[in-house]
């Protein structure tokens, strides 16, 4: 038996989540979709209450000196609430992963086995100052048949309380347990610590937010974690790189949305391509406001570059900054990537088929690319519909995750009295 023996302040909520998860596991797709539609309606019908609670959080945030970026992430207005409601409706339109038969066979003795997708049970989430994640994770968990226990952080506590209240009313209105979605924000940091220890109650824990938060959860959690980690993402311009592709892909990978995990952070350039490519590629970046942190050869070739330090090679800037290094060979590029990569996304720009295949085979990352923008590592781009996150771990899920990654499987075995011989 895996049940924890010592009750904590969270135990009643965790018990309720587990009971709710049994009802959700048995709910039909139609019931779950009705709940999601009720949630979307409730969001649209309660904009003033959400905005009011959110303004309280933002006032506290300003008083506590929350950074402007965090205050912006915290903010919910009518258009953001409408976007959230639309996202919930979109999730209701996705294929339900529960019940999918993954594989199956008939054993030699006639026993039929099939492996079917089932919900995890209870999904925990820990994140900070992002009330939109409350709605997002709740909707993804519900669609995949899981109960959700959410720790959204004190900075968004009032927003989260109102949002979870609306979600619970919507659930009850369609006959599903209100406790399918709960917030543990009132228990503060102690609640988060207990959630990480709730083995036997919580089947999987998803941290969302800063590298610091994710690392803490990974290090401290006794519950299995799906790590959606940082991206120190590289592009390597090989000797034979097509100049236009190099320019377009580097610019798109760095500039299109610098604050996300699939954005480019370090550019590696083959020394035999440096004279040809550094000028146009870095010039186009600089024109878009990118600061180049270059090694000595980059500084010589591109006078606007500032000197790169050792720290630059392992930094996820998430800003209009780019580390740039000249390397002597494909092997030296791959060695650099092995050393500094967070194994998220790596791309080579090359016209040489052998180098392309070597890079695809030998580089160890969730996504390895040839002649494509690193920004393609994304659930939406990959056609998954939902964005559950991008896993940088190797167990269970790797790369962009869709709804099936929020499920487990079980084996269904049907016999007619067979025994093992």
Q: Which of residues 32-71 bind a second copy (CB under 8 A)?
A: none
User: Least CB distance from residue 409 to a second copy, whole Å?
Assistant: 5
Which residue of 7, 26, 175, 186 would you call a contact of a second copy, by CB under 8 A?
A: 26
Q: Phi, psi (5° rounding) for residue 79?
A: -70, -35
Burial of 303 (0-12, 13-18, 19+ CB in 10 A): exposed
Q: Which is nearer to a second copy, 51 or 237 (CB)?
A: 237
Radius of gyration of the chain from Cα atoms? Answer: 24
According to CB under 8 A, which residues from 134 to 173 bind a second copy? none
DSSP string, 117-149: EEE-SEEEEE--S-HHHHHHHHHHHHHTT-EEE
Q: Is the dihedral of CA 74, 78, 80, 84 positive or negative?
A: positive
Q: Phi, psi (5° rounding) for residue 236?
A: -115, 120
Q: Is the dihedral of CA 51, 56, 57, 58 positive or negative?
A: positive
3-state secondary structure of 115: strand
Which residue of 86, 222, 275, 309 would you call a contact of a second copy, by CB under 8 A?
A: 222
User: Least CB distance from residue 54 to a second copy, whole Å?
Assistant: 31
219 touching a second copy, by CB under 8 A = yes
- Please say whether the beta carbons of 204 and 225 come within 8 A: yes
Q: Which is nearer to a second copy, 175 or 186 (CB)?
A: 175
User: Least CB distance from residue 27 to a second copy, whole Å?
Assistant: 11
d(CA 385, CA 383) in angstroms, rounded, equals 6
Q: Which is nearer to a second copy, 289 or 420 (CB)?
A: 420
Map residues 90-109 to x or -, x wherever contact with a second copy holds by CB under 8 A. ---------------x-x--
**Sheet arrangement for strand 147-151:** 181-183, 147-151, 122-126, 204-207
User: Least CB distance from residue 55 to a second copy, whole Å?
Assistant: 35
Stretch that binds a second copy, among 73-81, 115-123, 134-142, 163-171 (CB under 8 A): 115-123
Q: Which is nearer to a second copy, 276 or 396 (CB)?
A: 396
Q: Is the dihedral of CA 68, 254, 367, 116 positive or negative?
A: positive
According to CB under 8 A, which residues from 307 to 346 bind a second copy? 314, 339-343
416 touching a second copy, by CB under 8 A = yes
User: Least CB distance from residue 208 to a second copy, whole Å?
Assistant: 18
396 touching a second copy, by CB under 8 A = yes
Residue 27 per-residue DSSP state: -
242 touching a second copy, by CB under 8 A = yes
22 touching a second copy, by CB under 8 A = yes
According to CB under 8 A, which residues from 350 to 379 bind a second copy? 360-362, 364-373, 375-378
d(CA 278, CA 289) in angstroms, rounded, equals 16
According to CB under 8 A, which residues from 188 to 207 bind a second copy? 203-204
User: Least CB distance from residue 369 to a second copy, whole Å?
Assistant: 4
d(CA 10, CA 4) in angstroms, rounded, equals 12
Q: Which is nearer to a second copy, 126 or 232 (CB)?
A: 232
User: Least CB distance from residue 266 to a second copy, whole Å?
Assistant: 12
CA atoms within 13 A on the CB side of 238: 21
* Cα-based distances in Å from 337 to 254, 268, 278, 371: 17, 9, 19, 17
- Please say whether the beta carbons of 289 and 259 come within 8 A: no
Residue 383 per-residue DSSP state: T
According to CB under 8 A, which residues from 249 to 278 bind a second copy? 249, 251-253, 256
d(CA 211, CA 218) in angstroms, rounded, equals 10
Give the interface size with a second copy as a residue count (CB under 8 A): 76
Which residue of 31, 115, 240, 329 would you call a contact of a second copy, by CB under 8 A?
A: 115
Q: Which is nearer to a second copy, 185 or 378 (CB)?
A: 378
Q: Which is nearer to a second copy, 8 or 299 (CB)?
A: 8
Q: Which is nearer to a second copy, 96 or 203 (CB)?
A: 203
Q: Which is nearer to a second copy, 142 or 305 (CB)?
A: 142
d(CA 37, CA 341) in angstroms, rounded, equals 41
User: Least CB distance from residue 217 to a second copy, whole Å?
Assistant: 12
31 touching a second copy, by CB under 8 A = no
């Amino acid at each position: 038996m895996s049940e924890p023996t010592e009750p904590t302040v969270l135990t009643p909520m965790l018990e309720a989540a587990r009971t709710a998860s049994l009802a959700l596991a048995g709910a039909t797709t139609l019931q779950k979709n009705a709940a999601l539609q009720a949630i979307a309606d409730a969001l649209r019908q309660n904009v003033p209450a959400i905005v009011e609670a959110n303004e309280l959080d933002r006032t506290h945030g300003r008083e506590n000196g929350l950074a402007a970026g965090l205050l912006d992430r915290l903010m919910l207005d009518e258009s953001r609430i409408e976007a959230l409601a639309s996202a919930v409706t979109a999730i209701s339109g996705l294929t339900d992963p529960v019940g999918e038969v993954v594989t199956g066979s008939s054993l030699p003795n006639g026993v039929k086995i099939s492996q079917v997708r089932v919900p995890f049970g209870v999904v925990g989430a820990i994140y900070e100052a992002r009330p939109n994640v409350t709605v997002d994770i709740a909707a993804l968990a519900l669609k995949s048949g899981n109960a959700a226990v959410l720790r959204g952080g004190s900075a968004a506590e009032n927003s989260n309380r109102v949002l979870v209240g609306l979600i619970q009313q919507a659930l009850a209105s369609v006959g599903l347990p209100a406790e399918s979605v709960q917030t543990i924000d009132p228990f503060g940091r102690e609640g988060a610590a207990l959630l990480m220890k709730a083995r036997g109650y919580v089947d999987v824990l998803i941290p969302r937010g800063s590298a610091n938060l994710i690392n803490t959860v990974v290090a401290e959690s006794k519950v299995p974690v799906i790590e959606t980690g940082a991206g120190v993402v590289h592009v390597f311009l090989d000797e034979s790189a097509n100049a236009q592709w190099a320019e377009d892909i580097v610019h798109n990978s760095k500039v299109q949305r610098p604050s996300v995990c699939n954005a480019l952070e370090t550019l590696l350039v083959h020394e035999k391509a440096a004279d040809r490519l550094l000028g146009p590629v870095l010039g186009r970046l600089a024109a878009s406001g990118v600061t180049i942190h270059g090694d000595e050869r980059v500084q010589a070739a591109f006078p606007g570059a500032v000197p790169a330090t050792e720290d630059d090679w392992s930094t996820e800037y998430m800003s209009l900054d780019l580390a740039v290094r000249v390397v002597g060979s494909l092997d030296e590029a791959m060695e650099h990537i092995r050393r500094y990569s967070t194994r998220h996304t790596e791309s080579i720009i090359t016209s040489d088929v052998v180098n392309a295949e070597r890079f695809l085979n030998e580089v160890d990352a969730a996504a390895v690319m040839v002649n494509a923008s690193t920004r393609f590592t994304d659930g939406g781009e990959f056609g998954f519909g939902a964005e559950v996150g991008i896993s940088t771990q190797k167990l269970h899920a790797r790369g962009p995750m869709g709804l099936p990654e929020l499920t487990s499987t079980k084996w269904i075995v049907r016999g007619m009295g067979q025994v093992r011989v």
